[in-house]
Chain A
């Protein structure tokens, strides 16, 4: 077939596509260590950073499902589990029942779960899912600016444990263990000075 020379060209181009696909997918593991001060593997051990080494979490302003603006700083004084997830993310869905349980168990001690969906379809995707699984914690829809502020969030789930001062104490990239999360939450709740802020949830929180 006369198209053989063309096929040769196309094959070269196809190889370029191959390389690109390989790099992109394989290179994703690099994202495990993009957040300053945390390495992916180490963070999975759930060891909390010493309080003196923690950096302030970016104070985002995102909308909830009622259109209310929610700032992360609204939660100052509470321990926060900040979960970046998406409806298409299977591993994220394994963690969600744990987070519901944490919200129920530790809410009255000054703890909140905040979920931030990275679904491009926003509430159209999130609302039906949240109803179906009975989400009992504050849910927000994220954007690229927030993703950048939290290290890019190329990988989901990415979950942060934030202390009462609004500083990042731990980061988990990918599916972590329930006990790792719970150990971290307990440590932060039991930290000195923690009882002062165990009062009510931020306005509008579940």
Chain B
């Protein structure tokens, strides 16, 4: 919360002027009952028509000034609230972009999206309300009491007793129900969860004939929700009748004691009416305040959620090494007894990985589901950091690299083929803003996408919809490869990026990559032996451990895991003849 306040600093003036004008308006509201008392005592009773007209004029003037003040207040509050949330949104977006892969994995994309959208919207309207009303309501409540003192000190004592009593009821009910509302929300989430499950799992549930069980489960949760709602309802149902009772009993007492004072000549009739009016103003404002506080509470909860994302420190610090004085003799990439443990995980995801790759080599990485293949290659551009040992590029620990310098060496084609709204050209230019059309053409050719791009209307300038959803999976995958090639990286990482391609296209792609000049160092992660068997080196992973390193022939002779994988894809007879 505290960190968010700093974004309000630029709107200091607005945040002060907004409430200030609101208070001004409220003060005019407070004068009205006194004016009305004057109409009665100085106008009606002595029969002074001029006085009545004059006071009527005062009432209209007060209303006009009040409205002007309110308009001004609304303007400043809106400006502060909108400006603040615009800044917070910017800051949050910028911050999320700095977070590492592990932070993103742990928090989840959908969380970030909710924080950036609905949470900040809630904060905006909460802040706007708070600026306008948070001071106004207490001001009127205490103002009314002070005005009562101005009219008559003894009569005002009734206010002194009533206000705390009312506050206890209003805030007591609120305090009691807020935590319960959270529970209601939780119960509602449960009902929602079961409903969702019955839709997403409709086939499985029906296949296992579990409909009855699901209905029972739903009924239990639905019933729990109702019971909780009724319970909370019982508490909040008390508020309005009790406050009504208190305020009206106080009014009756006010009239009785007023009667005695009028009889003794201490008060006038008009003043009694003014006191009664002040009493009813208090009730209206207290109820408003209670609702306001609920709103603000919601906004505060949102603010805390946003804050917790802002508090996530981008874990990584980068060095300053800019890849100068490169020693060409050093291996380009070297894993020196590297281990990786994900934050919060019990065991290592990768253990004691040790190998090195020379310039221009192709290295294949193969292993089962969850064996750590992706994690391994993602450590080279530091999307994940080694928790044991060091990853070196050009013989230098990647942690001493400047971020730009490191990442500009590496072209990554991730597992998930992600494209962005724009054109095919704009997507390819992500690799290199200044790439020439020859560069783009070459990248398309190598990635085997030239043919289908040319068939598109507009060719390179064909439109790409959000997330590339107007392209097929195979097309997206080839374009992500092209995008990485445009970068002309020294290290090219293909992270299972040919999975949607048929075997023939996959083979052509690998041939084209091999003929590149200058030839990049290529990491190919795959589950298909055919994709990696011609690599210079093959690294075999099993459950995060390096169980084999060598060429296809060597591994086929001495690595049991590799043999198993290979023969699972090429059953012995076919394997031999191929």
Bound together? no
Residues of B that sit less than 8 Å from A by CB: none
